[in-house]
Structures are given as structure tokens and as C-alpha cells.
Amino acid sequence: MNSFSNSAFARFFTEFPKLLLAQLINAVAFAVFTALFVLIGYLTGFNNIIVWCLGIIPSMPFFAGLVMTVRKIGIEKKDVPVAKTFFGTVKENFKAFLLHGVVTYAIIACSIFAFMYYFSLLGSSLVYGSMLTVYVLFSLILTSMMFYVPIMSVTYELKISDIYKNSFILAFGNILKNILAMLFFIAVSLGFILWIAAAEGAMLVIAVTVAVLFYPLIATYAVNVIIAKGLQENVGSFTGKDLLVDKEFEEKVEKIVEQQAVERADSSNDYVFVNGKMIKRESNTTDSKTEK
């Protein structure tokens, strides 16, 4: 019973107020920037979803705060101050997540454009149907890759190029967990999209408000909990416990290198110079004792 009460599923409900607070901050940032680009689109005449989605880019750094809060509460099962954790993460990862925002926007914009274009031509030729299928599969792969990018960015000290490279590899490496995460992501996304599409009047306002408030939290929490174990097994622990193992491994490697250097050195010397240190030859020491 105790294990269930401390599970990620149970903690989503027991720690929901804290998670919701993090999402509220993220939602406010997203709403402000989206409204800004909707206004720009209206004033400039470029009033379409491609322009509206530009709000993703400047609001993406705030998503870093949500991801870190989810990681601490849902995966590491820690009790953390939400505001301090959230804004500290935003500050540390601001530039990186602006870049992630550009990549995310490019994926979304291209996917929308390609889907609308090929779908409109679907009746004219089967070739367009094949191209649409290929692009959908390609978009799913990119989406799976982007599942890993945010949590890797807030967790590990890696170069941006390494984050994307590892994320792409993990998109194929943890295939079962990725499929499960993708199915949940699609189900939640379709649920909110269909609700918004079917709603009218006041219900439309309610549907959009609920989607902005809860959709990112539900999707982010579920996806990160699902992929967390595979990510830690392949890249490293979130808590840093694996650093002790890495240190021991490095010390073993260093000893092996030193021993090899000693073996290659001139047997007439009592000491050899290895990695900036003078190492005494054990063989000479042993020989000296034997001679005595």
C-alpha cells in the first residue's frame, strides 16, 4: 500500500496543487505570448495558425520549469518549493529552451502545413496518400525525440548537439516505452482537440481554458514518467547516485593506464612519469628486496 501511495500515479493526485501551480505559471506565459502573436497576426493580416504558434518559442523556457517540477515531484518523489524550483530552472535553461522552442515550432508548423497540403490532394492521387503516411511517421519519430529533449536539458550537463543526438537515438532505443508514451500523448491530445472542435459559445471558452490549464501538465507528467527509467538507464541517474560508480570506474581506468605506462618504461629507472605524477616501479622495488 505504501509503495502505491508513493507511486508516480498516486503522487500526481496527492501533489496536484503543487503541479498545478507550476502549470499555471507555464500557462500564463504561454497565453501571454500566444495572445501577442495572435494580435500581431491580426494587425499584419497574417492571421493563421502558423503565426499564432510563434508564441511557442518565447514561452518554451517556462516549460523547462514545468518539466523540472514534474521530475522532482513525480519521478524523484521529492518535496520541493515550486516557485524556487520553477524560476531557477527557467533562468538556468533560458537560452537552451529558446532553441528548443524554435525546433518545436518548426516541427509543428511543418507538420500542420504538410498534413493540410497532402490531405487536400489525397483524392487526386494515391502518391499523395503515401507521402502523407511517410510524413506522419516522420513526425511521430521527431515527436518521440522531443519527448527526451526537455528533461535531458534540465537534468544533464550536455551540449545541445549531444542532447539532440542522444534523443534521436533514444527515440529508437526505448521503442516500447516510446510507443506507450506516444499512445498516451495522442489520446490526450485528441481528447482535447475533439472537445474544442465540438464546443460552441461559452463551452468553447471553457474547453480552451481547461486545455491550456491541464493539457500540458497531464501530457508532460505522463510522458516523462513513462520514459524516465529508460533515460536513466541509458544516460544517467537523475539523483546523481551513479556519479560514485563513474568515479570508481575512472579510478580503475587510471590505475590500468599507470600500470601500462610502468610496464612500457625503461626497466633501469626506479620511477616513471605518468599523467603528471612520478610513479614508483613496483618491479624494481620487488627486485631490490629480492637482491637483499
Segment 239-251 shows an average pLDDT of 46
Q: Look at residue 214 in the predicted model and tell me its pLDDT.
A: 95
pLDDT attached to residue 257: 59
| pLDDT confidence bin for 237, thresholds 50/70/90 | confident
Average pLDDT of span 276-281: 49
**How many CA within 13 A on the CB side of residue 237?**
9
Averaged pLDDT, 65-87: 96
The span from the CA of 215 to the CA of 115, in Å, is 22
Structural domain spans, the chain:
2-235, 246-291
CA atoms of 186 and 165, how far apart (whole Å): 24
Q: Which residue has the higher pLDDT, 2 or 8?
A: 8
Q: How far apart are CA 73 and CA 12, in angstroms?
A: 8
pLDDT at position 255 over 80: no
pLDDT at 243: 38
Secondary structure class of 80 (helix, strand, coil): coil
Q: What confidence category does residue 286 fall into, taking pLDDT thresholds of 50, 70 and 90?
A: very low
- Point out the least confidently predicted range of 45-54, 122-131, 232-241: 232-241
Residue in this structure with the C-alpha cell 508513493, named with its chain if needed? 6
DSSP sequence for 156-222: S---HHHHHHHHHHHHHHTHHHHHHHHHHHHHHHHHHHHHHHH--THHHHHHHHHHHHHHHHHHHHH
pLDDT above 50 (res 141): yes
CA distance 20 to 214: 8
Confidence of residue 236 (pLDDT cuts 50, 70, 90): confident
pLDDT at 2 over 50: yes
Q: From 17, 57, 40, 59, select the one nearest 212 (Cα to Cα).
A: 59
How high does pLDDT run on average in the chain? Answer: 85
Residue range 270-292: mean pLDDT, rounded: 47
* 158 CB-near residues (< 8 Å, 6+ apart): 152, 166
Percent of the chain clearing pLDDT 90 (strictly above): 64
3-class secondary structure per residue, 219-232: HHHHHHHHHHHHHH
pLDDT in tens, 24-70: 999 999 999 999 999 999 999 888 888 999 999 999 999 999 999 99
* Residues 127-138, mean pLDDT to the nearest whole number: 88
43, 87 Cβ separation under 8 angstroms: no
